[in-house]
Amino acid sequence: MKRIKITIAYDGTKFCGWQIQPGVRTVQNELEKAISRITGAPVRVYGSGRTDSGVHALGQVVHFTLPESRAEVPWQRALNAIMPDDVTVLDVAYVDESFHAQFSSIRKTYVYTLWLENKFLFPCRRNYVWGCGPLDIDALDTAMKYFLGEHDFASFQNVGTPVKNTIRTILEFVRLPGENEHEIKLQVCGTGFLKQMVRNMVGCLVDIGRGKAEPGFVRSVLEAKDRTLAPATAPPQGLCLSHVYYGEPKSGGPESGRNESRIDGTD
Amino acid sequence: MKRIKITIAYDGTKFCGWQIQPGVRTVQNELEKAISRITGAPVRVYGSGRTDSGVHALGQVVHFTLPESRAEVPWQRALNAIMPDDVTVLDVAYVDESFHAQFSSIRKTYVYTLWLENKFLFPCRRNYVWGCGPLDIDALDTAMKYFLGEHDFASFQNVGTPVKNTIRTILEFVRLPGENEHEIKLQVCGTGFLKQMVRNMVGCLVDIGRGKAEPGFVRSVLEAKDRTLAPATAPPQGLCLSHVYYGEPKSGGPESGRNESRIDGTD
């Protein structure tokens, strides 16, 4: 058997998220359909994590496994020729069978784009930003720092599907310039994210940026460990899964990279 | 009567261009419908020029005239509240009745975005770029300069609807960085443009960038004054009407600005 790792980008606007669900259009389904069409046999693909309906990706990582006889295909060209134009293969690699798109990942980076003008929103940006209006940028910068490090993120997980272990580590949370003068980007890198955690963190930051709370509010919400205390979830279209990182096997042994991982396969 | 000048942006993807046509969705029609809904009476709006189906705008200028009693409306807020999200009002001004969005304009700037990678195209950029693949950038830079100045652009006008006076002046043609490492932007400013002239110039430049012709080919095509000799028209989705300029009345009299205009109301 041969394992294939592909890196893909997609525009989440017209997808009901990553994961296969009956009766709706999902990225996983489009990908499996295209691979099956090429090989002539059903296939299962595994993503680094799910993304919600409307969430975009510029570096989602996926793996699948095929018999040697079917694996030697110019995958990038073949898939991009038949897939719809809202999903594309950026890169392909043959990897060791121990590689798993979800379980081998050690870090992920998401970028959330905010539109700060409230009188208008450029139409060409409407599917890629949250038009939240003016924010106090200094307050935002201060508040982001409270997320850094290891915390119990119980207050920032999705209400519907709580997980047991809600401790995660945020390695980076920075503000970057946007694609025009009306936007800013918030880039967050962590060892793993609970379901809707990024959108919940951004929802909280925007409340602070709007002056509804002080930057220290982040700490209070983290300490409360109660989702009902946190502000509303930011809308999906501002979010983009930017990069998934995989570790080199370390001197501590081939498993050490994997132990760093706390990915739940969610966004 | 009161004349109102509005600056609008639109995503051309789902519009059949600017101009009202029966049975299809156009920007002019959406705007007239929205204004009429606010004032309760039919209205005609005049744009600085038409844009084709799929062409975008970040600075289209439009004017319309209303009886004083109906003109005092918070236009930006009112229109943006009821118009679809692929068109937005960026700015509003009450202007002198001598102002005309088309005939008073003295210069226009268009930006055309090229995607230079041929193995993939970011899905979120698919409606805003021409995925032309790799180009010789030096050749492109050299070729652009041949368009500068006053020329007969007969070779670069649309085949179907030729106009008599095909002499136009290009004031600027420069390459700018794109929104990511796979894109470049070509910005062209001129006193006026023939129908599809920008897309025809870009089609010619891309042929040169692909090595199908030398940069001096631009001069040969200009001199031939024959549309059939020029390369194919670039696709619409890479094009954006960026800015329309209006002159201050000059010392030579209020008409002098207007005399500079050679806008045909086309793109």
Q: Which chain A residues touch B90 with a CB distance below 8 Å?
A: 120
pLDDT band at B249 (very low <50, low <70, confident <90, very high): very low
Please name the member of B58, B80, B179 whose beta carbon is closest to the beta carbon of A122: B58
- Identify the pLDDT of residue A159: 77
Rounded to whole angstroms, the Cα distance separating B207 from B186 reads 15
- Identify the pLDDT of residue B248: 66
Rounded to whole angstroms, the Cα distance separating B63 from B96 reads 11
Rounded to whole angstroms, the Cα distance separating B141 from B124 reads 27
Q: What is residue B179's DSSP assignment?
A: S
Residue extent(s) of CATH 3.30.70.660 domains in chain B: 105-259
**3-class SS letters over chain A:** CEEEEEEEEECHHHCCCCCCCCCCCCHHHHHHHHHHHHHCCCCCCEECCCCCCCCEEEEEEEEEEECHHHHCCCHHHHHHHHCCCCEEEEEEEEECCCCCCCCCEEEEEEEEEEECCCCCCCHHHCCCCECCCCCCHHHHHHHHHCCCEEEECHHHCCCCCCCCCCEEEEEEEEEEECCCCCEEEEEEEECCCCCCHHHHHHHHHHHHHCCCCCCCHHHHHHHHCCHHHCCCCCCHHHEEEEEEEECCCECCECCHHHHCCCCCCCC
Nearest residue to B242 (alpha-carbon basis) of B172, B180, B144: B172
- Identify the pLDDT of residue B259: 34
Please name the member of B10, B76, B86 whose beta carbon is closest to the beta carbon of A119: B76
Residues flagged as binding site of A for substrate: 110
Residues flagged as binding site of B for substrate: 110
| pLDDT tens figures, B156-200 | 998 777 788 999 999 999 999 999 999 999 999 999 999 999 999
Give the active site residues of A.
52
Whether the CB of A235 is below 8 Å from some CB of chain B: the reply is no
Contact B120 A76 (CB under 8 A): yes
Q: Which chain B residues touch A122 with a CB distance below 8 Å?
A: 9, 58, 88
- ipTM of model: 0.89
List, in order, residues 6 or more apart from A149 with CB less than 8 Å away: A169, A170
* CATH number 3.30.930.10 is the correct assignment for the domain at A106-259: no
Contact B88 A122 (CB under 8 A): yes
Please name the member of A10, A77, A119 whose beta carbon is closest to the beta carbon of B123: A10
Rounded to whole angstroms, the Cα distance separating B157 from A13 reads 36
pLDDT over 90 percentage in chain A: 86
Whether the CB of A117 is below 8 Å from some CB of chain B: the reply is no
Contact A123 B86 (CB under 8 A): yes
Tokens 């062409």 — which residue? B55
- Identify the pLDDT of residue A255: 38
Rounded to whole angstroms, the Cα distance separating B249 from B256 reads 7
| pLDDT tens figures, B91-144 | 999 999 999 999 999 999 999 999 999 999 999 999 999 999 999 999 999 999
How far is C-alpha A65 from the chain's CA centre?
23
Q: Is the pLDDT of residue A250 over 90?
A: no
Nearest residue to B182 (alpha-carbon basis) of B110, B111, B113: B113
- Identify the pLDDT of residue A264: 44
Per the CB < 8 A criterion, the answer to whether A113 and A236 are in contact is: no
Q: Is the pLDDT of residue A257 over 50?
A: no
**3-class SS letters over B112-137:** EEEECCCCCCCHHHCCCCECCCCCCH
Give the active site residues of B.
52
The distance of A127 to chain B (nearest Cα, Å) reads: 9
Q: Is the pLDDT of residue B256 over 50?
A: no
Rounded to whole angstroms, the Cα distance separating B258 from B256 reads 5
Report, in angstroms and rounded to the nearest whole number, the Rg of chain B calculated over CA atoms.
19
Can you say whether the dihedral through the CA atoms of A209, B10, A237, A105 is positive or negative? negative
* Adjacent-strand bridge partners of B65: B3
List, in order, residues 6 or more apart from A251 with CB less than 8 Å away: none
List, in order, residues 6 or more apart from B226 with CB less than 8 Å away: B154, B155
Contact A80 B119 (CB under 8 A): yes
The distance of A260 to chain B (nearest Cα, Å) reads: 30
Q: Which chain B residues touch A119 with a CB distance below 8 Å?
A: 76-77, 80
Contact B120 A88 (CB under 8 A): yes
CA distances from A46 to A22, A64, A75 (A): 17, 6, 16
Whether the CB of A260 is below 8 Å from some CB of chain B: the reply is no
The distance of B131 to chain A (nearest Cα, Å) reads: 12
Residue extent(s) of CATH 3.30.70.660 domains in chain A: 106-259
pLDDT over 70 percentage in chain A: 93
Per the CB < 8 A criterion, the answer to whether A98 and A172 are in contact is: no
The distance of A43 to chain B (nearest Cα, Å) reads: 23
Mean pLDDT for all residues in chain B:
92
Contact A58 B122 (CB under 8 A): yes
Q: Which chain B residues touch A179 with a CB distance below 8 Å?
A: 179
* CATH number 3.30.70.580 is the correct assignment for the domain at A2-95: yes
Whether the CB of B85 is below 8 Å from some CB of chain A: the reply is yes
CATH of domain B105-259: 3.30.70.660
> Comparing A159-168, A185-194, B145-154, which segment has the lowest mean pLDDT?
A159-168
Q: Which chain B residues touch A7 with a CB distance below 8 Å?
A: none
| pLDDT tens figures, A33-60 | 999 999 999 999 999 999 999 999 999 9
Residue extent(s) of CATH 3.30.70.580 domains in chain A: 2-95
The type of residue at B41 is: A
| pLDDT tens figures, A136-155 | 999 999 999 999 999 999 99
Rounded to whole angstroms, the Cα distance separating A211 from A139 reads 8
Q: Which chain B residue's Cα is nearest to A74? A: B119
Tokens for B149? 């100045």
Tokens for A242? 């930017």
Whether the CB of A10 is below 8 Å from some CB of chain B: the reply is yes
Per the CB < 8 A criterion, the answer to whether B59 and B42 are in contact is: no
- Identify the pLDDT of residue B62: 98
Nearest residue to B110 (alpha-carbon basis) of B202, B47, B209: B202
Q: Which chain A residue's Cα is nearest to B119? A: A77
Q: Count of CB atoms within 10 A of residue A219's CB?
A: 14
Rounded to whole angstroms, the Cα distance separating A107 from B7 reads 44
The distance of A137 to chain B (nearest Cα, Å) reads: 23
Whether the CB of A187 is below 8 Å from some CB of chain B: the reply is no
pLDDT band at A248 (very low <50, low <70, confident <90, very high): low
